[in-house]
Copies of this chain bind each other. A is one copy, B any other.
Amino acid sequence: MIVVGELINASRKKIGEALSAQDADYIKEVAAAQHNAGAAFIDVNAGIFVEEEPEYIKWLVENVQEVVDGPCSIDSPSPVAIEAALSAHKGTPMINSISLEKDRYDALLPIVAGTDFKVVALCMSDEGMPETVEDRLTIADKLVNALVQNNVDIDNIYVDPLVQPISTNKDFGTGFLDSIEQIVKRFKGVHTMCGLSNISFGLPNRKFLNQLFGVMAISKGLDGLIINPLDTRMMANIVAAEALAGKDDYCMNYLKAFREGLFEN
């Protein structure tokens, strides 16, 4: 499981304020905490600042990597912002995300073509949000093929089938889960990735639903999550779910997490 730490997103009030005030200490603190909690990538998003986005996302990358010996997930649809972030980034970043929306696709494909970047391929097109498994597979098929033809290794592609709220349609949960299963089967070697919080939109007790939906998705083959790694219950669920799903030899990670106290919260 690859965990992407989602907290450094300017749409979160304290991160937005830290960006405006150029409060590097706060950014570093949130970055280090996520890294220590097990995030393999630290997501950086400055999208609410239209004009300053390139400058701000680059500043985020610099400050994150001052305290974290690891890569960022560069979270923007803007090629200018991504290039600015890349100019400062050390190591191999994740690009979050390309989609089949024409503008975004045309802008991002040249950036990732022929690189060893990790790429999130979001199952979204100009026709809007996909609803059925077939919708998602059609988009995934086009994106995966385009990326592979542009010399992105399939092992670096993370398909995100896009979680949608069960409060809107009770079959949106199973639609997503079946998509994960089909994508993993159809595109050998590809990875999958998602955020979880949309599943519980409009319902009470959201964290609990998000955590359990993550467990279900892992049992279908999901191997990437964009989450808050400081949510220890979520992290505990991930470790347990991977053991239950046959992805933890001799339950070694599970036993290690137990010894470290992860299940005590």
Binding site for B on A (CB under 8 A): 166-167, 170-174, 177, 199, 203-205, 208-209, 212-213, 215-216, 219-220, 236-237, 240-241, 243-251, 254-255, 258, 263
Q: Contacts A216-B219, A219-B216, A251-B167 given; indicate if A174 touches B208 (C-beta within 8 A).
A: no
Q: A244 contacts B213, CB within 8 Å?
A: yes
Give 10 closest A-B pairs by Cβ, nearest first: A216-B219, A174-B246, A173-B244, A205-B263, A171-B246, A170-B246, A204-B258, A212-B215, A213-B244, A215-B215
Q: A177 contacts B255, CB within 8 Å?
A: no
Q: Contacts A203-B255, A205-B263, A263-B205 given; indicate if A245 touches B216 (C-beta within 8 A).
A: yes
Query: What are 22 A-B contacts defined by CB distance under 8 Å?
Result: A167-B251, A170-B246, A170-B248, A170-B249, A170-B250, A173-B244, A173-B245, A174-B245, A203-B243, A203-B251, A203-B254, A204-B258, A205-B263, A208-B236, A208-B240, A209-B244, A212-B212, A212-B240, A212-B241, A212-B244, A213-B244, A215-B215
Task: Give chain B nearest CB distance to A205 CB in angstroms.
Answer: 5
Task: Give chain B nearest CB distance to A184 CB in angstroms.
Answer: 13
Q: B246 contacts A166, CB within 8 Å?
A: yes
Q: B245 contacts A205, CB within 8 Å?
A: no
Q: A212 contacts B199, CB within 8 Å?
A: no
Q: Return the chain B residue nearest A203 by Cβ.
A: B251
A interface SS class: helix
- CB neighbours (8 Å) of A215 from chain B are 212, 215-216
- CB neighbours (8 Å) of A245 from chain B are 173-174, 216
- CB neighbours (8 Å) of A213 from chain B are 244
Q: Return the chain B residue nearest A209 by Cβ.
A: B240
A244 vs B220: C-alpha distance when bound (angstroms): 14
- CB neighbours (8 Å) of A220 from chain B are 219
Task: Give chain B nearest CB distance to A192 CB in angstroms.
Answer: 15
A240 vs B209: C-alpha distance when bound (angstroms): 6
Q: B166 contacts A243, CB within 8 Å?
A: yes
A215 vs B250: C-alpha distance when bound (angstroms): 22
Q: Return the chain B residue nearest A165 by Cβ.
A: B251
- CB neighbours (8 Å) of A203 from chain B are 243, 251, 254-255
Q: Return the chain B residue nearest A243 by Cβ.
A: B166
Q: B219 contacts A251, CB within 8 Å?
A: no
